[in-house]
Chains A and B, each alone.
Chain A
Amino acid sequence: MHADLRFALRSLLKSPGFTAVAVLSLALGIGANTTVFSLVNEVLLKSLPVREPGQLVLFSWAAPERIGPQSINGWTQRDAATGETICTSLSLHTFEQLRTSSSALLSDVFAFAPLDRVNVVLDGNAEVVTTGQIVSGNYHAALGVPMLAGRSILPTDDQPNAPPVVVISAGYWQRKFAGDPAAIGRTLAVNGVIAEIVGVTAPQFTGTLQIGEVQDLTLPLALYSRLSPDDTDATQPWCWWIRIMGRLQPGITRAQAHAGLAGVFKESIKDGLNAGEPAAGSVTPEVAKAANLDKVRFVVNPGGQGLTEARRSYTQSIQILTALVVLVLLVACANVANLLLARGAARVREITVRLALGASRARLLRQLLTESVLLAFLGAAAGLVFAWWGRAALLVLQPLGRSANMLELPLDWRVLGFTTAVAIATGILFGLAPAWRATRLDLAAGFAGGTRTLGGERSRLARILMVVQIALSLVLLVGAGLFTRTLRNLQQLDAGFNRSQLVLFSVDGVAGGHKRAELAALHTRFADRIAALPGVSAVTFSQVPVLSGSSWTSNAVVQGHVPAKGENTNVVMNGVHPGFFSAYQLPLIIGRGFTARDDAAAPKVAIVNQAFARKYFGDASPIGRRFGTGEDKNAGDWEIVGVVRDAKYTRLREEPRPAAFRPYAQLQNAWGGHFAVRVTGDAGTYASMLRGLLRDIDPNLPLANLRTQEEQIARGLSSERMFARLSSFFGLLALLLASIGLYGLLSYSVLRRTGEIGLRMALGAVPGHVLWMIVRESLLLASFGVVLGLGSAWALSRLVASRLYGLSASDPGTYAGVGLILVAVAIISSLLPARRASRVDPMVALRAE
Chain B
Amino acid sequence: MTTENPSLIKLEGVTKVFLTDEVETHALSGIHMDIRKGEYVSIAGPSGCGKSTLLSILGLLDTPTDGTYILNGRPVQGLTLPERARIRNREIGFIFQSFNLIGDLTVYENVELPLTYRGMPASERKTRVTEALEKVGMGHRAKHLPSQLSGGQQQRVAVARALAGSPAVLLADEPTGNLDSKNGDAVMELLHSLHRAGSTIVMVTHDTRFARHAERTIHVFDGRVVEEQVEAGSAH
Q: Which residue of A lies closest to B85 (CB)?
A: A766
Chain A, residues 430-472, CB within 8 Å of chain B (1/0): the string is 0000000000000000000001111111100000000000000
> What is the CA–CA distance of A759 and B118 in the complex, to the nearest angstrom?
15
- Which B residues lie within 8 Å of A759 (CB)? 100, 102
- Which B residues lie within 8 Å of A843 (CB)? 56, 61-62
* Residues A846 and B55 in contact in the complex (CB < 8 Å), given A451-B154, A765-B117: yes
B102→A763 contact, CB < 8 A: no
- Which A residues lie within 8 Å of B101 (CB)? 453-454
> What is the CA–CA distance of A458 and B105 in the complex, to the nearest angstrom?
13
Q: Which residue of B lies closest to A848 (CB)?
A: B98
- Which A residues lie within 8 Å of B94 (CB)? 762-763, 845-846
In the complex, whether A566 has a CB less than 8 A from a CB of chain B is no
Chain A, residues 748-762, CB within 8 Å of chain B (1/0): the string is 000000011001111
* Residues A453 and B103 in contact in the complex (CB < 8 Å), given A764-B117, A766-B81, A769-B117: yes
> What is the CA–CA distance of A847 and B62 in the complex, to the nearest angstrom?
12
A764→B52 contact, CB < 8 A: no
Cβ contact of B98, chosen from A452, A457, A762, A763, cutoff 8 A: A452
| B29 nearest CB across to chain A (Å) | 19
* Residues A454 and B85 in contact in the complex (CB < 8 Å), given A763-B94, A769-B117, A846-B52: no
Chain B, residues 9-50, CB within 8 Å of chain A (1/0): the string is 000000000000000000000000000000000000000000
| A698 nearest CB across to chain B (Å) | 86
A762→B59 contact, CB < 8 A: yes
B89→A453 contact, CB < 8 A: no
| A849 nearest CB across to chain B (Å) | 7
Cβ contact of A842, chosen from B61, B82, B90, B102, cutoff 8 A: B61
- Which B residues lie within 8 Å of A769 (CB)? 117
Cβ contact of B118, chosen from A454, A764, A845, A847, cutoff 8 A: A764
In the complex, whether B147 has a CB less than 8 A from a CB of chain A is yes
> What is the CA–CA distance of A513 and B100 in the complex, to the nearest angstrom?
96
A455→B104 contact, CB < 8 A: yes
Residue among B102, B114, B146, B178 with the most chain A CB within 10 A?
B102
In the complex, whether B151 has a CB less than 8 A from a CB of chain A is yes
In the complex, whether B99 has a CB less than 8 A from a CB of chain A is yes
> What is the CA–CA distance of A759 and B98 in the complex, to the nearest angstrom?
11
- Which A residues lie within 8 Å of B59 (CB)? 762, 846
> What is the CA–CA distance of A849 and B184 in the complex, to the nearest angstrom?
18
B173→A846 contact, CB < 8 A: yes
Q: Which residue of B lies closest to A764 (CB)?
A: B89
* Residues A455 and B102 in contact in the complex (CB < 8 Å), given A763-B117, A765-B85, A842-B61: yes
| A846 nearest CB across to chain B (Å) | 5
A764→B85 contact, CB < 8 A: yes
A454→B114 contact, CB < 8 A: no
- Which B residues lie within 8 Å of A760 (CB)? 102, 113, 117
A761→B56 contact, CB < 8 A: no
Q: Which residue of B lies closest to A844 (CB)?
A: B61
> What is the CA–CA distance of A530 and B136 in the complex, to the nearest angstrom?
102
A763→B113 contact, CB < 8 A: yes
Q: Which residue of A lies closest to B105 (CB)?
A: A455
In the complex, whether B86 has a CB less than 8 A from a CB of chain A is yes
In the complex, whether B96 has a CB less than 8 A from a CB of chain A is yes
* Residues A761 and B85 in contact in the complex (CB < 8 Å), given A451-B151, A451-B154, A451-B178: yes
In the complex, whether A767 has a CB less than 8 A from a CB of chain B is yes
Q: Which residue of A lies closest to B62 (CB)?
A: A843
> What is the CA–CA distance of A731 and B88 in the complex, to the nearest angstrom?
47
A764→B88 contact, CB < 8 A: yes
> What is the CA–CA distance of A812 and B36 in the complex, to the nearest angstrom?
66
> What is the CA–CA distance of A763 and B116 in the complex, to the nearest angstrom?
10
Q: Which residue of A lies closest to B162 (CB)?
A: A763
| A449 nearest CB across to chain B (Å) | 9
- Which A residues lie within 8 Å of B103 (CB)? 452-457
- Which A residues lie within 8 Å of B56 (CB)? 843, 846
B98→A849 contact, CB < 8 A: yes
- Which A residues lie within 8 Å of B86 (CB)? 764, 766
- Which A residues lie within 8 Å of B118 (CB)? 764
| A478 nearest CB across to chain B (Å) | 34
* Residues A454 and B154 in contact in the complex (CB < 8 Å), given A762-B59, A764-B114: no
- Which A residues lie within 8 Å of B114 (CB)? 763-764
Q: Which residue of A lies closest to B55 (CB)?
A: A846
- Which A residues lie within 8 Å of B105 (CB)? 455
B82→A766 contact, CB < 8 A: yes
> What is the CA–CA distance of A761 and B86 in the complex, to the nearest angstrom?
10
Within 8 A of A (CB), among B93-145: 94, 96, 98-105, 113-114, 117-118
- Which A residues lie within 8 Å of B82 (CB)? 766-767
> What is the CA–CA distance of A455 and B109 in the complex, to the nearest angstrom?
14
* Residues A762 and B113 in contact in the complex (CB < 8 Å), given A453-B146, A845-B94, A846-B96: no
> What is the CA–CA distance of A166 and B17 in the complex, to the nearest angstrom?
97
Within 8 A of A (CB), among B73-97: 81-82, 85-86, 88-90, 94, 96
> What is the CA–CA distance of A763 and B55 in the complex, to the nearest angstrom?
15
Chain B, residues 154-179, CB within 8 Å of chain A (1/0): the string is 10000001000000000001000010
- Which B residues lie within 8 Å of A848 (CB)? 96, 98, 100
Cβ contact of B89, chosen from A763, A847, A849, cutoff 8 A: A763
> What is the CA–CA distance of A842 and B52 in the complex, to the nearest angstrom?
13
Residue among A457, A760, A846 with the most chain B CB within 10 A?
A846
Cβ contact of B61, chosen from A454, A755, A766, A845, cutoff 8 A: A845
- Which A residues lie within 8 Å of B113 (CB)? 760, 763
> What is the CA–CA distance of A402 and B154 in the complex, to the nearest angstrom?
73
> What is the CA–CA distance of A763 and B163 in the complex, to the nearest angstrom?
12
> What is the CA–CA distance of A843 and B60 in the complex, to the nearest angstrom?
9
| B42 nearest CB across to chain A (Å) | 17
| B200 nearest CB across to chain A (Å) | 18
> What is the CA–CA distance of A846 and B98 in the complex, to the nearest angstrom?
9
- Which B residues lie within 8 Å of A767 (CB)? 81-82
* Residues A847 and B52 in contact in the complex (CB < 8 Å), given A454-B102, A454-B103, A458-B104: yes
| B196 nearest CB across to chain A (Å) | 25
- Which A residues lie within 8 Å of B61 (CB)? 762, 842-843, 845-846
B52→A762 contact, CB < 8 A: no
- Which A residues lie within 8 Å of B173 (CB)? 846
Cβ contact of A756, chosen from B55, B85, B90, B102, cutoff 8 A: B102
| B154 nearest CB across to chain A (Å) | 6
- Which B residues lie within 8 Å of A842 (CB)? 61, 88
* Residues A763 and B81 in contact in the complex (CB < 8 Å), given A453-B99, A755-B100: no
> What is the CA–CA distance of A455 and B105 in the complex, to the nearest angstrom?
9
> What is the CA–CA distance of A456 and B99 in the complex, to the nearest angstrom?
14
> What is the CA–CA distance of A760 and B110 in the complex, to the nearest angstrom?
10
- Which B residues lie within 8 Å of A456 (CB)? 103
> What is the CA–CA distance of A762 and B82 in the complex, to the nearest angstrom?
12
Chain A, residues 767-779, CB within 8 Å of chain B (1/0): the string is 1010000000000
> What is the CA–CA distance of A767 and B55 in the complex, to the nearest angstrom?
22
Within 8 A of B (CB), among A571-594: none
Chain B, residues 185-220, CB within 8 Å of chain A (1/0): the string is 000000000000000000000000000000000000
- Which A residues lie within 8 Å of B117 (CB)? 760, 763-766, 769
> What is the CA–CA distance of A456 and B102 in the complex, to the nearest angstrom?
9
Residue among A451, A755, A843, A845 with the most chain B CB within 10 A?
A451
Q: List 29 A-B contacts (CB under 8 A).
A: A451-B151, A451-B178, A452-B98, A453-B99, A453-B101, A453-B102, A453-B103, A455-B102, A455-B103, A455-B105, A456-B103, A756-B102, A759-B102, A760-B117, A762-B94, A763-B114, A764-B86, A764-B88, A764-B90, A764-B114, A766-B81, A769-B117, A842-B88, A846-B55, A846-B56, A846-B94, A846-B96, A846-B173, A847-B52
- Beyond A456-B103, A755-B100, 16 additional contacts (C-beta under 8 Å) are A451-B151, A451-B178, A453-B99, A453-B103, A453-B146, A454-B100, A458-B104, A759-B102, A762-B59, A763-B88, A763-B113, A764-B85, A764-B86, A766-B82, A842-B61, A848-B100
User: Closest 6 A-B residue pairs measured CB to CB?
Assistant: A764-B89, A453-B103, A764-B117, A763-B114, A455-B103, A453-B146
